[in-house]
Structure 1
Amino acid sequence: MTLLQRVGYYLGGFSMGLIVLAFFLNGKHVSCSYGPEARVLKDISTKKVVYNEAVEEAISNHSIDSTTIAQILANGSISFSDSQARKKPCGIYAIEGTNDQKNIVLSVENCDSIATVLNITMK
């Protein structure tokens, strides 16, 4: 068997495997959240989100809305250097995002069953 035949068999089997995987995983909401940032954001998104009084005041003053906060909590990036992830009993994370060309930083306390948005900073 020549090298060209081996490569052909390999590519044929590999492509059939991809087709089988696409068939079985089609329509399923499969996610690969293995990185630390993705795990924390997924953990926060599965919990009930509660707003601090200062955040509720910012929402009522229309300086920010709850959909923007939800978008940042889902798609933001965590600044671990500004976070206190090992704080007991609940870690505090700084989640950064943008909206309408403004940089927004949310300070979120991540407890066992509740995620509390403590502070909003707009830059």
Structure 2
Amino acid sequence: MAFVKRLGYFLFGLSIGIVFLTFFFKKKTAETGVSFCYLPNCRVLKDIRSKQLHYSDDINQMLLNKELDTTDIIFLLKEGDVDFSKSDTKSNPCKTYLIEGELHGKEAFLTVKNCNSKAQISTLEY
């Protein structure tokens, strides 16, 4: 059997296997809610969401004045983008991250101090 013919069979089988695995894993992640985060942005946001959230006095005041809702903060922590160039990722014990996202049609910037056991939401600017 010629090499080109064997390569064709191999690529055909490989493509069927990839399609099968794609559908299988997509269904599995939808059922269990498990997601695979390998990129730095996704890993940082997932780590922050997994910890207990504490709010600074400014954020608490915004929550009391109904300028902000906790669902807005959770939305930014799910859909936002971490700006690593403006974040302080080298500090100990808490790293400071700047998360950018869109809230209510405006660009929002959320500052989060990510410690070992808690995450403190420091500021939110529009």
Q: Say whether the fold is shared (TM-score over 0.5).
A: yes
Q: Which residue of 1 aligns with 2:9?
A: 9
Q: Unpaired segments of 5 or more residues in structure 1? A: none
The counterpart of 1:31, out of the listed 35, 39, 47, is: 35
- Distance between the aligned counterparts of 2:23 and 2:84, measured in 1? 38
The percentage of aligned residue pairs carrying the same residue is 37
Higher helix proportion: 2
Deviation at 1:61, TM superposition (A): 1.1
Deviations 1:39-88 (Å, cap 9, x if unpaired)?
11111111111111110111111212110110101110111122111111
Deviation at 1:24, TM superposition (A): 4.8
Q: Unpaired segments of 5 or more residues in structure 2? A: none
SS at 2:28's partner residue? Answer: coil
The counterpart of 1:87, out of the listed 91, 102, 106, is: 91
Letter in 1 for 2:53: V
- Distance between the aligned counterparts of 1:8 and 1:81, measured in 2? 46
Deviations 1:6-43 (Å, cap 9, x if unpaired)?
24311332134225524653323453322222211111
> Is residue 2:46 matched to residue 1:45?
no
Q: Which residue of 2 aligns with 1:114?
A: 118
The counterpart of 2:69, out of the listed 48, 65, 68, is: 65
Runs of 4+ with deviation above 6 angstroms: none
Q: CA RMSD in A?
A: 1.9
CA, structure 1 residues 47+101, in 2 after alignment: closer, same or farther (shift >3 Å)?
Answer: same
Q: What is the aligned residue count?
A: 122
- Distance between the aligned counterparts of 2:35 and 2:79, measured in 1? 14
TM-score w.r.t. length of structure 2: 0.84
- Distance between the aligned counterparts of 1:44 and 1:88, measured in 2? 16
Letter in 1 for 2:68: I
